[in-house]
Chains A and B, each alone.
Chain A
């Protein structure tokens, strides 16, 4: 066969349509329209879920001692009407004394913090000084879940009168409120370089600034709250994964170290293990650092164990959020890789985590009263032992039967 003939045969074979090509479905206006309609239907289904989370409000029945409701927009008016505005419930005994701020929801994917604030609000009795409770410090972050983490948007607490539903939010502010993320995040005013997505992390934005980003304005408003209300002690509640070293711990500003040290020793000897760390001076943007540096308050951050947010857990379900029981974590626990004890049978249930926060806050106030009698605050709410014995639901009141003036949507 000549070279020319061979070339002709190859060209002919190449030019001929393959059987596979013949089978390809050619699209037309009808198939394109069907694809678009299906996509829009999927968008509607997903969109409803996202919309519901963006607009869902948690219900709380306040104790009768509520004297005032303030908002962050009272301190930074630019926040009014935005998802950065959030209520602060004030319980003033009318007796001169100190003042305490309790913050939940700085990281809204740590919901034992908000739930502990709600249980505090529902059962608090203040007989000296003032207590300020802010259940959702970063409200914007409660309006979505973490992108890429397939977990439920809420969980239920069983009560005698039915179920109370609470959100599981994100770690940071919603991109709908602050977007786009910069390539780098330079903390103000320290100029310390931090992870780019921490620009939306409230607990990396303190002390904030009035003309800063959305999250920095929220942080600034909280600082203004602390400064204007002369808050003597500010407590920021958090949860942490149990394979992270800073868990089951107080992290205290230098000025609050003595108080937190005494509270940790007291709790460890009587109720549950509680560690203590001093806030590192070079770690910028954190509440335990900046609240103390930029105001006269005694700043303490608290962490309880939350297995739900550990990296190695199995399915992230409502059950995991409520019980903290996970098979994979139990293997890590047996290998000694967790920073708090972990057993599959016990896990870290919600009532234990909420109870830890409530007792930890109570002990801080107790020792503040001892160290600074002029700042004395006398307040009571349910503690760890009661929570563990009766569960969270026992301390939540039925909004249907409560005085409507004490029922709030947060």
Chain B
């Protein structure tokens, strides 16, 4: 159980990294909503995922 929990724990960190990369891709390569306001939102949303994969927050 400890091993399974550790696997799930680190899988979530990996998923946080993947979601962060999706936001990064969305910031630079999105097809819709190309306004500046969406740039700000996409860039801001990267912050929690970045802090999580760096084991800071």
Which A positions have Cβ atoms within 8 angstroms of B?
Answer: 24-27, 29, 31-32, 35-36, 38-40, 42-43, 46-47, 50-51, 54, 78, 144, 176, 178-180, 211-214, 217
Contact = CB atoms under 8 A, between A and B. Distances in A.
B51 A31 contact: no
Report whether over half of chain A's contact residues are helix, strand or loop; otherwise say mixed: helix
Interface residues of B, number: 27
29 contacts: A27-B35, A27-B39, A29-B28, A32-B27, A35-B42, A35-B43, A36-B46, A38-B43, A39-B43, A39-B44, A39-B46, A40-B50, A42-B44, A43-B47, A47-B51, A47-B56, A50-B56, A51-B56, A54-B56, A176-B52, A179-B9, A179-B12, A180-B9, A180-B12, A211-B1, A211-B2, A213-B5, A214-B5, A217-B2
Contacts of B40: 35
B7 interface: no
Nearest to B28: A32
Contacts of A51: 56
A214 B9 CA distance: 11
B44 A47 contact: no
Nearest to B42: A35
B9 A178 contact: yes
Interface of B: 1-2, 5, 8-9, 12, 24, 27-28, 34-36, 38-40, 42-44, 46-47, 50-52, 54-57
Contact of B47 (A39, A54, A144, A212): A39
A211 B1 CA distance: 6
Contacts of B9: 178-180
Nearest to B3: A211
